[in-house]
């Protein structure tokens, strides 16, 4: 079953991903299968049945659209213009058109874009050349009546249904002979392998000496010097002054390359600013190209700008669009490298300090644990504790001794106060007869012997008489 689909240009990729196909003969989208997928139903117009088929081209001669609306199969103007645009887009011959003609209907707009037409005796073709292309490819005075050769592609503008040729390259046909000769030279050198990438040398990453072949008075050397000083002022720079255009340009540039190549430099820059094809013609010289090819030193070509290409660009070991870019390639940004190294160094120092600090802390912890179990330390602690206990014991013993002594002296004093002998010093004596103390007159009789003890001795006497009170 054929299902006809109405798919807009902006949605074609989504429809293709879901299985939709484009009929290049009858210019419509369709899906072929037993059942229309759910994702394609949004674009569904109706089932297509084949009543008649032309065996020569396979076109459907009649289509029966199954739909309630008899005008549903009719397209809008936008849809038709979109299909025209898709048709133009899918025709390979329209993607690269080479055409020549006379410039007509031209006026220079303020925005830098060129809108004009080219014509021959019977037809006219509208053209557009965008500002970027004009700045790089338009190398001659452009005016009405000029015979030009254009390379471009056909574009269709849907809103007003018009088509125009978009210019990619444009050449003054008066310069056709020189362009053809340059093309033949390029083909010759290319066939010899002069442009082969296998012969290109690597540009040193960290050069010590760089040669520069350009004019000492031009902007090129100023741009290179500015970049070199900012990125790597330590690289030695050798300037060989040359004429970058004119009759002496080729000779001086060749001489410069050979001279610097003998110095054993790391890199050579061959450069100049932009210019017209005529101004850059020196860099298309065959002898100069072969000199670059035979040089032992890697060469960076910085001739012209983005849209300018010379044969030296093809043979050089590296081609860049501007002298500034050449300096970026030849002089590594050592200042950024040094800054990066310093950042890395500070990071390493910080990490080392942090690591050492953690290890010192761990060492101190382990040392404290070890010291806690040190036998010498423990013995000293025990000696100190024993000395403290000994001192305490001695102090305690002295305290007890002094207390006992004081109590002894008190008791002794009290005992002495109660002792009979203590009274003898006051005129009293202790009288005994035999071994018995005399406590009454009845204990003795006249003639009995008495012993009187006083504080400093004894007296033996005899009783003469007794009287009882």
**Res 253: pLDDT:** 95
**Torsions phi, psi for 290 (to 5 deg):** -70, -30
Q: Which helix (H) or strand (E) holds 193?
A: none
Condensed to tens digits (0 to 9), the pLDDT of residues 398-430 reads 999 999 999 998 888 888 777 666 666 667 788
Residue 342 pLDDT > 80: yes
3-state class of 322 per DSSP? coil
Estimate to the nearest angstrom the gap between the alpha carbon of 312 and the chain centroid. 36
**Res 418: pLDDT:** 73
Q: pLDDT band for position 296 (50/70/90)?
A: very high
**Res 52: pLDDT:** 37
Q: pLDDT band for position 288 (50/70/90)?
A: very high
**Torsions phi, psi for 428 (to 5 deg):** -90, 155
Distance CA 399, CA 406 (A): 11
Written as six digits, the tokens of 139 are: 């190398």
Written as six digits, the tokens of 6 are: 């109405």
Higher-pLDDT residue of 9 and 165 is 165
Q: pLDDT band for position 277 (50/70/90)?
A: low
pTM: 0.44
Q: pLDDT band for position 179 (50/70/90)?
A: low
Count CB-CB contacts under 10 A for residue 448: 15
Nearest 5°: the CA angle 285, 288, 294 is 140
Estimate to the nearest angstrom the gap between the alpha carbon of 324 and the chain centroid. 24
% pLDDT > 90, the chain:
38
Please state which of the ranges 265-269, 272-276, 391-395, 461-465 shows the lowest mean pLDDT: 272-276
Distance CA 6, CA 42 (A): 9
**Res 340: pLDDT:** 87
Residue with tokens 């037809």: 123
**Res 425: pLDDT:** 62
Distance CA 39, CA 43 (A): 9
DSSP 8-state assignment for residue 60:
B
Counting other chains too, the contacts that 183-188 makes at CB distance below 8 Å and 24 or more residues apart are 185/284, 185/286, 185/311, 186/311, 186/314
**Res 69: pLDDT:** 64
Q: Where are the beta strands (DSSP E) in 273-341?
A: 299-303, 318-319
**Torsions phi, psi for 391 (to 5 deg):** -60, -40
8 A C-beta contact, residue 165 and residue 149: no
Distance CA 180, CA 164 (A): 27
Written as six digits, the tokens of 287 are: 């002898």
Please state which of the ranges 110-119, 120-129, 173-182, 382-391 shows the lowest mean pLDDT: 173-182
Residue with tokens 């103390």: 437
What's the mean pLDDT in 175-190? 77
- What lies within 8 Å, CB to CB, of 56 at 6+ separation is none
Nearest CA to 454 out of 433, 431, 429, 435 is that of 429
8 A C-beta contact, residue 4 and residue 30: yes
Distance CA 313, CA 182 (A): 14
Q: pLDDT band for position 308 (50/70/90)?
A: low
% pLDDT > 70, the chain:
88
Written as six digits, the tokens of 121 are: 């005796």
Angle between helix 286-294 and helix 249-261 axes, rounded to 10 deg: 10
**Res 353: pLDDT:** 92
Residue with tokens 């050492």: 356
Condensed to tens digits (0 to 9), the pLDDT of residues 101-158 reads 888 888 777 688 999 999 888 888 999 999 888 888 888 888 877 889 999 999 888 8
Higher-pLDDT residue of 84 and 255 is 255
Side-by-side strand order, sheet with 44-48: 21-23, 28-32, 2-5, 44-48
Q: pLDDT band for position 262 (50/70/90)?
A: very high
Mean pLDDT of the chain: 84
Residue 66 pLDDT > 80: no
Distance CA 4, CA 65 (A): 9
Distance CA 201, CA 1 (A): 62
Q: pLDDT band for position 64 (50/70/90)?
A: very low
Residue 67 pLDDT > 60: no
Distance CA 253, CA 272 (A): 11
Buried b (16+ CB within 10 A) or exposed e, 334-362: eeeeeeeeeeeeeeeeeeeeeeeeeeeee
Q: pLDDT band for position 174 (50/70/90)?
A: low
Residue 344 pLDDT > 90: yes
Residue 28 pLDDT > 90: no
Residue 291 pLDDT > 80: yes
8 A C-beta contact, residue 294 and residue 189: no
DSSP assignment of 70-95 equals: TTTTPPPHHHHHHHHHHHHHT-GGGT
Condensed to tens digits (0 to 9), the pLDDT of residues 31-51 reads 888 788 888 888 886 554 444
């Amino acid at each position: 079953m054929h299902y006809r689909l109405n798919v807009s240009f902006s949605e074609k990729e989504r429809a293709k991903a879901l299985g939709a196909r484009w009929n290049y003969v009858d210019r419509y989208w369709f899906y072929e299968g037993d059942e229309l997928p759910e994702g394609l139903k949004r674009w569904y117009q109706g089932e297509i049945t084949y009543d008649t088929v032309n065996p020569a081209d396979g076109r459907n001669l009649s289509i029966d659209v199954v739909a309630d609306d008899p005008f549903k199969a009719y397209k809008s103007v936008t849809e038709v213009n979109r299909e025209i645009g898709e048709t133009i887009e899918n025709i390979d011959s329209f993607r690269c058109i080479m055409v020549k003609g006379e410039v007509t209907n031209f006026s220079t707009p303020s925005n830098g874009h060129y809108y004009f037409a080219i014509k021959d005796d019977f037809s006219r073709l509208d053209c557009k050349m965008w500002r970027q292309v004009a700045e790089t490819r338009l190398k001659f005075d452009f005016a009405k009546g000029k015979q030009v050769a254009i390379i471009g592609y056909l574009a269709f503008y849907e809103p007003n249904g018009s088509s125009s040729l978009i210019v990619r390259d444009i050449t003054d046909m008066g310069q056709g002979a020189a362009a053809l000769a340059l093309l033949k030279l390029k083909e010759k050198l290319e066939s010899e392998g002069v442009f082969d990438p296998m012969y290109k040398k690597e540009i040193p990453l960290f050069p010590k000496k760089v040669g520069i072949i350009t004019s000492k008075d031009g902007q090129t050397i100023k741009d290179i010097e500015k970049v070199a000083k900012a990125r790597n002022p330590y690289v030695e720079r050798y300037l060989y002054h040359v004429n970058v255009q004119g009759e002496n340009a080729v000779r001086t540039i060749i001489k410069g390359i050979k001279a610097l190549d003998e110095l054993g430099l790391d890199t050579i820059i061959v450069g100049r600013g932009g210019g017209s094809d005529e101004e850059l013609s020196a860099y298309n010289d065959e002898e100069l190209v072969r000199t670059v090819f035979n040089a032992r030193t890697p060469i960076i070509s910085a001739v012209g700008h983005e849209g300018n290409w010379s044969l030296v660009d093809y043979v050089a070991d590296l081609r860049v669009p501007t002298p500034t870019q050449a300096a970026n390639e030849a002089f590594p940004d050592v200042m950024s490298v040094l800054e990066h190294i310093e950042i890395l160094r500070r990071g390493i120092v910080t990490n080392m300090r942090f690591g050492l600090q953690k290890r010192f802390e761990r060492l101190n912890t382990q040392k404290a644990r070890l010291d806690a179990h040190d036998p010498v330390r423990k013995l000293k602690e025990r000696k100190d504790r024993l000395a403290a206990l000994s001192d305490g014991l001695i102090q305690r013993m002295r305290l007890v001794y002094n207390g006992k002594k004081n109590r002894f002296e008190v008791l002794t004093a009290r005992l002495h106060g109660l002792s009979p002998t203590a009274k003898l010093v006051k005129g009293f004596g202790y009288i005994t007869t035999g071994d018995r103390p005399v406590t009454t007159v009845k204990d003795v009789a006249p003639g009995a012997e008495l012993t009187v003890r006083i504080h400093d001795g004894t007296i033996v006497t005899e009783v003469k008489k007794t009287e009882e009170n």
